Amino acid sequence: PAATPAESTTDSPSAADGRRASEVTREAARRRTFAVISHPDAGKSTLTEALALHAQVITEAGAVHGKAGRRSTVSDWMEMEKARGISITSAALQFAYGEHVINLVDTPGHSDFSEDTYRVLSAVDAAVMLIDAAKGLEPQTLKLFRVCKARGIPVITVINKWDRPGLDALTLLEEIENQIELQPTPLTWPVGIAGDFRGVLERRTGEYIAYTRTAGGATRAPEERMGADAAAAREGEAWTAAVEEAELLSSDGSDHDQELFLSGFTTPVLFASAISNFGVAALLETLVELAPSPPAFGWGEEDETGRHLQVREVAAPFSAFVFKVQAGMDTNHRDRVAFARVCSGVFERGMVATHAQTGRPFATKYAQALFGRERAVLDQAYPGDIIGLVNANALTVGDTIFLDEPVSFPPIATFAPEHFAVASSKDAGRFKQFRRGMEQLDSEGVVQVLRSDLRGNQMPVLAAVGPMQFEVAEARMESEFGAPIRLERLSYTQARRTDAASAPALEAIRGLEVLSRADGTLMVLAPDAWRISVVERDHPDLVLETLLAGG
């Protein structure tokens, strides 16, 4: 609650600061910010809707992407998105759950958008790994998991579609343990095999939660909870088998350990049927109880105790970093929105923050809580919350904005591009539009735009993690900037980072090309990994830094 006028006049400034700091700490502590990582079709949209159903939705945005017959709130800023039935834009859904505030940050589902997804994952404190019980770990899940691992994000696993025939529960656990070296610690254990879902045994209490099917998952599934005796009487053999397996898990060291979970060694596992809302309440409880609240943001070098030397405490004055920039999300508002995660302090709409990269003031008059077609004005946000800043033409991915105490967060690592193409304007008379579009797409990270003196400004090289990024670039250059482009694919498959000292020598090597990004980063392109390894062997003095692997 806001301070009454009487209070604020009698307060010393430091007392007011102290009160504000404890308010921010309290607000941060009740927040959980996470993303769902999954392979397309595992049930992410279904789960998102089910989560929102269980909670009281505060703001509802494009996090749930439209599929035939279901609610569609996503922005339709691009025809392609609709045509392919996938969600390219990222959005966040915020809802209250009891005393807590949950921020679910959407991740693009298509594998070609892993770079985008990586950035989204830089804005969350935990991830829910959603697995289709019939398919187990799939390529996209693995890829995203690696990003979580690299960033040290704790992962909660949900095995979905247990109502349908699928793999054996123990087999699924083994797969997780062997393929991603994460020890699964099931919190619930299924009663009945996949396809014959009776309910789950809650390992912590030994109680049974019976599964009740609801028609089309339209309403909250009634959860019938009972003790072991009642469960045994009701489910017979299936219950006994589940109890035995659960005991086996305990003797195997598969019990939850909070510290091991937070440090990325174990993953709590839940069994669910998102379509009938079963297991969804358990997931919310797990998020609230086990997932971390927004921590102090630390980076850079660490001291001997492993603590980062640079830290922004949550109660420090406002700061946020931009993890995504998007233009033309809505045909009615063709503007540029920067999505930022609040790291510290309280964000108040209208405040004038400082843009760390330029030192210029940044007015936040048009901050929005939600993204997509329906826009709502956001008045306040706390650490862990995602804010959408409209008309943010000066902001680029990785940028920091702050109030009072200066801070500049480190840049977000980028994936190694594996696809390259030369872009040129189809219409020479529209070069100005061409250049502006290229700059925009580059700053949004739709594609990376690389240049060299050799190729000139007219023919930059576009670099992408997946080829679909090229299609997005082509479509947007035409529809948004009125500058249709021609793309000519290059046969490079590898990119490494280098420095100015190594560049001339690398350029002289046959088959390699050195180009620069807008921020000055020098990139070496090579046809294949073999060529890179030959160069590394023959010229160990040259800098060839590996970028984060996308594939």
Q: Of 275, 316, 370, 392, which lies in the binding site for ligand GDP, with binding defined by CB under 6 A?
A: 275
Q: From CA 85, how far away is CA 90, in angstroms rounded? A: 14
Q: Of 7, 18, 22, 40, which lies in the binding site for ligand GDP, with binding defined by CB under 6 A?
A: 40
**11 binds ligand GDP per the rule CB under 6 A:** no
CB of 4 to ligand GDP, least distance (A): 47
**444 binds ligand GDP per the rule CB under 6 A:** no
Between 42 and 369, CB nearer to ligand GDP:
42
Contact between 52 and 95 (Cβ < 8 Å) = yes
- Tell which phi-psi region holds residue 312, choosing left (phi > 0), alpha (psi between -120 and 50) or beta: beta
Q: From CA 438, how far away is CA 43, in angstroms rounded? A: 35
Applying CB under 6 A, the span of 53-61, 157-165, 255-263, 527-535 interacting with ligand GDP comes to: 157-165
Q: What are phi and psi of 453, to 5 degrees?
A: -60, -40
Task: Name the 3-class secondary structure at 351.
Answer: coil
In the sheet that holds 92-97, the strands lie side by side as 56-59, 92-97, 100-105, 31-38, 126-132, 155-160, 266-271, 183-186
Burial label for 173, CB within 10 Å (0-12, 13-18, 19+), is buried
**138 binds ligand GDP per the rule CB under 6 A:** no
Residue 175's alpha-carbon distances to 181, 195, 196, 254, in angstroms, are 9, 19, 21, 14
Tell me, what amino acid is at 287? Answer: L
HEC string for 19-47: HHHHHHHHHHHCEEEEEEEECCCCCHHHH
Strands 386-390 and 448-450 come out as unpaired
Contact between 433 and 482 (Cβ < 8 Å) = yes
CB of 475 to ligand GDP, least distance (A): 22
CB of 50 to ligand GDP, least distance (A): 8
Site string for ligand GDP, 371-410 (x = CB under 6 A): ----------------------------------------
**164 binds ligand GDP per the rule CB under 6 A:** yes
Q: Of 30, 31, 32, 44, which lies in the binding site for ligand GDP, with binding defined by CB under 6 A?
A: 44
Q: Of 33, 107, 160, 448, which lies in the binding site for ligand GDP, with binding defined by CB under 6 A?
A: 160
Between 161 and 336, CB nearer to ligand GDP:
161
Q: Of 123, 144, 147, 274, which lies in the binding site for ligand GDP, with binding defined by CB under 6 A?
A: 274
Q: Of 75, 89, 111, 273, which lies in the binding site for ligand GDP, with binding defined by CB under 6 A?
A: 273
CB of 273 to ligand GDP, least distance (A): 4
Number of residues that bind ligand GDP (CB under 6 A): 17
**277 binds ligand GDP per the rule CB under 6 A:** no
**188 binds ligand GDP per the rule CB under 6 A:** no
CB of 155 to ligand GDP, least distance (A): 17
CB of 141 to ligand GDP, least distance (A): 10
- The separation between CA 102 and the C-alpha centre of its own chain, rounded to angstroms, equals 14
**109 binds ligand GDP per the rule CB under 6 A:** yes
Between 85 and 406, CB nearer to ligand GDP:
85
**38 binds ligand GDP per the rule CB under 6 A:** yes
CB of 158 to ligand GDP, least distance (A): 10
**448 binds ligand GDP per the rule CB under 6 A:** no
Q: Of 11, 23, 41, 223, which lies in the binding site for ligand GDP, with binding defined by CB under 6 A?
A: 41
Who's near 169: CB < 8 A, 6+ residues apart? 159, 189, 190, 193, 194, 245, 271
CB of 110 to ligand GDP, least distance (A): 10
Task: Name the 3-class secondary structure at 222.
Answer: coil
In the sheet that holds 188-191, the strands lie side by side as 188-191, 199-202, 207-210, 224-226
Q: Of 24, 35, 43, 93, which lies in the binding site for ligand GDP, with binding defined by CB under 6 A?
A: 43
Q: From CA 42, how far away is CA 447, in angstroms rounded? A: 27
**Residues that constitute the known binding site:** 106-110
Both tokens of 144, joined, read: 């995203």
CB of 224 to ligand GDP, least distance (A): 18
**Residues that constitute the known binding site for GTP:** 106-110
Q: Of 67, 100, 497, 539, which lies in the binding site for ligand GDP, with binding defined by CB under 6 A?
A: 67
CB of 10 to ligand GDP, least distance (A): 54
CB of 40 to ligand GDP, least distance (A): 5
Task: Name the 3-class secondary structure at 337.
Answer: strand
**163 binds ligand GDP per the rule CB under 6 A:** yes
Contact between 97 and 86 (Cβ < 8 Å) = no
CB of 130 to ligand GDP, least distance (A): 7
**42 binds ligand GDP per the rule CB under 6 A:** yes
Applying CB under 6 A, the span of 112-120, 151-159, 161-169, 413-421 interacting with ligand GDP comes to: 161-169
Between 221 and 522, CB nearer to ligand GDP:
221
Q: Of 30, 31, 32, 161, which lies in the binding site for ligand GDP, with binding defined by CB under 6 A?
A: 161
Q: Which residue has the tokens 């920039």?
A: 325
The Cβ of residue 247 has, within 10 Å, a number of other Cβ atoms equal to 12
DSSP 96-164: EETTEEEEEE----SGGGHHHHHHHHTT-SEEEEEEETTTBS-HHHHHHHHHHHHHT--EEEEEE-TTS
Who's near 159: CB < 8 A, 6+ residues apart? 131, 133, 169, 172, 269, 270, 271, 272
**Angle between helix 431-444 and 468-479 (nearest 10):** 130
Q: Of 31, 33, 46, 211, which lies in the binding site for ligand GDP, with binding defined by CB under 6 A?
A: 46
Residues that bind ligand GDP (CB under 6 A): 38, 40-46, 67, 109, 160-161, 163-164, 273-275
